[in-house]
């Protein structure tokens, strides 16, 4: 998993006045948990841009002016309710032999035949929470929807791995295609069509086609 480097300064004072002064100076107060004692530090707000404002999952390397470095993962973040400025971030220190909990994004691949036939694509879980050792953290989950028909879904049970534990029930739906009034249910044989024998009594069985393919929508 890709890491984002955050260069910061250890905080000598953690009181309200000190915290307010940091924010006024464009810095974000942070705390790193997981070690022997919490590490209080601050960094420029712009330093968190590639870590916070992205759909991807990243770990972080906290570099302090003292020369200390810590591998970490962001655990909690607080925003101002009006300005959306970052107010505070909690990190959790990573250790090679200790599993960590993290939310991993889901990416859809392929084109669903159910959507082409007028169904509605519902993206139920855009991120999945997992527990794993740092070396086993995936960058994302790839979910292939190229065979997903109307009325079908892909659940967590199809994404299980020995490298990590997904912290959702196996039956949790990640993505599904639901029917709509304009949808046409077509099975594999009907899509190919059948030709009647020349001079015989067999009749061709053809499935009606949808007037126009519906655009994929995600929720």
DSSP state of 66: T
Whether the pLDDT of residue 100 is over 90: the answer is yes
Which range among 69-73, 162-166, 183-187, 212-216 shows the weakest confidence by mean pLDDT? 212-216
Could you give the CA distance from residue 130 to residue 42 in angstroms, rounded to a whole number? Answer: 28
Model pLDDT, residue 115: 94
Whether the pLDDT of residue 209 is over 70: the answer is no
Whether the pLDDT of residue 196 is over 60: the answer is no
pLDDT tens-place string over residues 108-140? 999 999 999 999 999 999 999 999 999 999 999
pLDDT tens-place string over residues 12-61? 888 888 899 999 999 999 999 999 999 999 999 999 999 999 999 999 99
Helices of type H across 58-216? 113-116, 188-192
**Percentage of residues in the chain having pLDDT higher than 90:** 75
Q: For the structural domain made of 102-192, what CATH number should be given?
A: 2.170.120.20
Model pLDDT, residue 180: 80
Distances (CA, A) of 166 to 70, 85, 123, 129, 205: 26, 31, 18, 6, 44
Residues of the chain with CATH 2.40.240.10: 3-94
Whether the pLDDT of residue 204 is over 50: the answer is no
Taking all residues of the chain, what is their mean pLDDT, rounded to a whole number?
A: 86
Task: Tell me the backbone φ, ψ of residue 19, rounded to 5 degrees.
Answer: -65, -40
Residue 107 burial (CB count, 10 A):
12
Band of the pLDDT at 183, cuts 50, 70, 90? low
Long-range contacts of 166-171 (CB under 8 A, 24+ apart): 166/128, 166/129, 166/130, 167/101, 167/128, 167/129, 167/130, 167/131, 168/125, 168/128, 168/129
Which range among 13-22, 67-76, 179-188, 191-200 shows the weakest confidence by mean pLDDT? 191-200
Model pLDDT, residue 200: 44
Q: For the structural domain made of 3-94, what CATH number should be given?
A: 2.40.240.10
Residues of the chain with CATH 2.170.120.20: 102-192
**pTM of the entire predicted model:** 0.75
Task: Tell me the backbone φ, ψ of residue 192, rounded to 5 degrees.
Answer: -80, -30
């Amino acid at each position: 998993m890709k890491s984002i480097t955050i260069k910061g300064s250890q905080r000598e004072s953690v009181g309200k006045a000190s915290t307010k002064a940091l924010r006024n100076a464009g810095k974000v107060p942070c705390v790193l948990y997981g070690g022997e004692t919490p590490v209080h530090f601050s960094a420029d707000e712009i330093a968190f841009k590639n870590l916070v404002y992205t759909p991807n999952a990243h770990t972080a390397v906290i570099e302090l002016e003292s020369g200390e470095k810590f591998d970490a993962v962001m655990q909690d973040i607080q925003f101002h309710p009006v300005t959306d400025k970052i107010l505070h971030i909690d990190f959790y220190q990573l250790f090679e032999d200790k599993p960590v909990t993290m939310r991993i994004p889901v990416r859809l691949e392929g084109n669903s035949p159910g959507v082409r036939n007028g169904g509605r694509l519902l993206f139920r879980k855009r991120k999945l929470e997992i527990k794993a050792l740092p070396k086993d953290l995936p960058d994302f989950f790839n979910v292939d929807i190229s065979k997903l028909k109307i009325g079908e879904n892909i659940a967590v049970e199809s994404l299980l791995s020995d490298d990590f534990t997904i912290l959702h029930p196996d039956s949790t739906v990640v993505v599904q295609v639901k029917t709509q009034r304009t949808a046409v249910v077509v099975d594999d044989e009907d899509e190919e069509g059948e030709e009647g024998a020349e001079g015989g009594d067999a009749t061709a069985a053809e499935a009606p086609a949808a007037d126009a393919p519906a655009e994929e929508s995600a929720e």
